[in-house]
């Protein structure tokens, strides 16, 4: 582990309070117990006070761990050549990344748009669907999370994030994830451009949607001439076992949205990977949707490397997933009064506690004893575990020990 650089935590919190938000400073000080991040490597983050945290959180970004040396080398190589682009002359870096990504995803999805964050990919996919069909209605799912930009927020189903902003993008219709006939009903009543869903709703407490229901939705949408978009920004790229959850489940989708670990845990980049029919507006006029940093060379240079590394560790991911499933089943058996349910797929797991207060106490206990996980803002009773695909058996064992101790402490008030 690299020695942490000297970091003044007190000054950091002062700046956060002054320039960002006082509430953000309080939350950060609470979680870090008065310390801030100083350095990171692999599955561990070193804080300014020298403590080391096991990172099974990071909102799915650190699939390959922190500062993966192979990814870092790719960044350095591109940095030494041309990290940015003129945007007037083509760069070879982004087209190569697009080719590799399209091959990786498969499913006949050969067109790619690169963004900087997940909401970028959501925005462009919905925009293209509306332009290609000439329709305005988009179907989203109860409990969905697709981002907080104004367009993506219209699809996100959380009143906390929408309060004071409505009306948002008009024409969004919500359907129950348990109703296989929901899309058929909606297309009879509305002029639908697209159906957008997450195969696994990570922010909604790791809710796995029924693939049979989704398959019926795909058929009904296509019969109506609408597009089907699978938002896998958090759950794709082997996070939930498959390269694409939707395609692995045999779903006939027109676009898969990817992000988070796509930049190897080092740089921000996202992608909408779709078919020619959805991308027809961009094929006709590539200027109808542009962004200065779309296809940024420094970010896209790491994509082929990240994909290769993910595949190299695919079997490790299966091993970690099996160990997590077994460990969480044991946790539930040992603490039935505290743990209501555990569920997950691959390297994404959710733990339901009996109350938001109990879940909060577990989060606090984990932070105090050396582990970072991700809460669910939409379901305060649930916490998420997102182990890196490079985690060792010892890392998983440590995580289960810390989780068991934190749960026991929270349940007893210790």
Nearest 5°: the CA angle 230, 72, 99 is 40
SS (H, E, C) 323-347: HHHHHHHHHHHHCCCCEEEEEEECC
Q: How many CB atoms lie within 10 A of CB 216?
A: 17
Whether the ω angle into residue 167 lies within 30 degrees of 0, i.e. cis, is yes
Q: Would you state the structure tokens that stand for residue 164, as one six-digit string?
A: 């004071």
pLDDT class of 378 with cuts at 50, 70, 90: confident
Q: What is the mean pLDDT of residues 227-256?
A: 98
DSSP string for residues in 139-181: EEETT----SSHHHHTT---HHHHTTT-S-SS-EEEE-TT-TT
Return the sign of the alpha-carbon dihedral for residues 232, 295, 317, 243.
Answer: positive
Query: Residue written as tokens 């024409």?
Result: 171
User: Using one digit for the tens of pLDDT, what is the confidence trace for 316-360?
Assistant: 999 999 999 999 999 999 999 999 999 999 999 999 999 999 999
Domain boundaries, the chain: 9-64+313-412, 69-312
Fold agreement between 9-64+313-412 and 69-312: no
Rounded Cα distance between 219 and 223, Å, is 6
Q: What pLDDT shows up at residue 170? A: 87
Rounded Cα distance between 289 and 115, Å, is 11
Fold of 9-64+313-412: 3.90.1150
Q: Would you state the structure tokens that stand for residue 329, as one six-digit string?
A: 């089943």
Q: Would you state the structure tokens that stand for residue 230, as one six-digit string?
A: 């699978």
When the pLDDT of each residue in the chain is averaged and rounded to a whole number, the result is 96
Rounded Cα distance between 151 and 155, Å, is 8
Q: How many CA atoms lie within 13 A of 325 on its CB side?
A: 12
**Domain 69-312 annotated CATH 3.40.640.10:** yes
Q: Is the pLDDT of residue 392 over 50?
A: yes
Q: Are 31 and 39 in contact (CB under 8 A)?
A: no
Q: Is the pLDDT of residue 4 over 50?
A: no
Q: Which ranges of 224-272 does DSSP label H, i.e. alpha helix?
A: 245-248
Q: Nearest-CA neighbor of 289 among 140, 156, 52, 114?
A: 114
User: Using one digit for the tens of pLDDT, what is the confidence trace for 243-298?
Assistant: 999 999 999 999 999 999 999 999 999 999 999 999 999 999 999 999 999 999 99
Distance from chain centroid for Cα 77: 27
User: Using one digit for the tens of pLDDT, what is the confidence trace for 164-219?
Assistant: 998 888 899 999 999 999 999 999 999 999 999 999 999 999 999 999 999 999 99
Q: What is the mean pLDDT of residues 122-141?
A: 98
pLDDT class of 1 with cuts at 50, 70, 90: very low
Range from 29-33, 100-104, 166-170 that averages highest in pLDDT = 100-104
Q: Is the pLDDT of residue 149 over 90?
A: yes
Q: Is the pLDDT of residue 107 over 90?
A: yes
Q: How many CB atoms lie within 10 A of CB 84?
A: 11
Query: What count of residues does the chain have?
Result: 414
Q: What pLDDT shows up at residue 413? A: 75
3-state helix, strand, coil in the chain (%, to 5): 40, 20, 40
Rounded Cα distance between 268 and 212, Å, is 33
């Amino acid at each position: 582990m690299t020695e942490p650089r000297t970091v003044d935590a007190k000054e950091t919190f002062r700046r956060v309070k002054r320039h960002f938000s006082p509430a953000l400073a309080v939350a950060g000080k609470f979680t870090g117990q008065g310390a801030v991040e100083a350095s990171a490597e692999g599955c561990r983050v070193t804080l300014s006070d020298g403590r080391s945290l096991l990172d099974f959180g990071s909102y799915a970004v650190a699939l390959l761990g922190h500062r993966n040396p192979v990814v870092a080398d790719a960044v350095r190589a591109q940095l030494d050549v041309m990290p940015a682009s003129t945007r007037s002359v083509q760069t070879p870096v982004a087209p190569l990344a697009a080719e590799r990504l399209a091959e990786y995803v498969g499913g006949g999805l050969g067109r790619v748009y690169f963004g900087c964050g997940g909401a970028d990919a959501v925005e462009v996919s919905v925009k293209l669907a509306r332009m290609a069909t000439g329709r305005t209605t988009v179907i989203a799912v109860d409990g969905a999370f697709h981002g907080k930009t104004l367009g993506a927020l219209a699809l996100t189903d959380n009143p906390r994030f929408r309060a004071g902003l409505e009306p948002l993008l008009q024409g969004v219709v919500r359907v129950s994830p348990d109703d296989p006939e929901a899309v058929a009903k909606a297309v009879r009543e509305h002029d639908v451009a697209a159906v957008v869903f997450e195969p696994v709703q990570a922010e909604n407490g790791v809710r796995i949607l029924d693939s049979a229901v989704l398959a019926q939705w795909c058929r009904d949408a296509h019969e109506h001439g609408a597009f089907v978009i699978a938002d896998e920004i958090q759950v794709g790229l082997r996070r939930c076992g498959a390269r694409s959850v939707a395609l692995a489940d045999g779903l006939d989708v027109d676009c898969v949205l990817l992000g988070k670990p796509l930049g190897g845990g080092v740089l921000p980049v996202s992608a909408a990977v779709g078919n020619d029919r959805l991308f027809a507006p961009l094929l006709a006029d590539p200027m109808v949707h542009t962004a200065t940093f779309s296809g940024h060379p420094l970010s896209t240079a790491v994509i082929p490397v990240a994909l290769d590394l993910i595949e190299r560790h695919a079997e490790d991911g299966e091993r970690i997933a099996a160990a997590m499933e077994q460990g969480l089943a044991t946790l539930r058996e040992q603490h039935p009064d505290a743990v209501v349910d555990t569920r997950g797929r691959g390297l994404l797991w959710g733990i339901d506690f009996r109350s938001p207060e109990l879940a909060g106490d577990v989060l606090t206990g984990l932070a105090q004893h050396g582990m970072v996980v991700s809460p669910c803002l939409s379901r305060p009773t649930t916490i998420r575990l997102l182990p890196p695909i490079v985690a060792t058996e010892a890392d998983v064992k440590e995580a289960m020990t810390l989780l068991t101790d934190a749960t026991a402490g929270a349940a007893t008030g210790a």
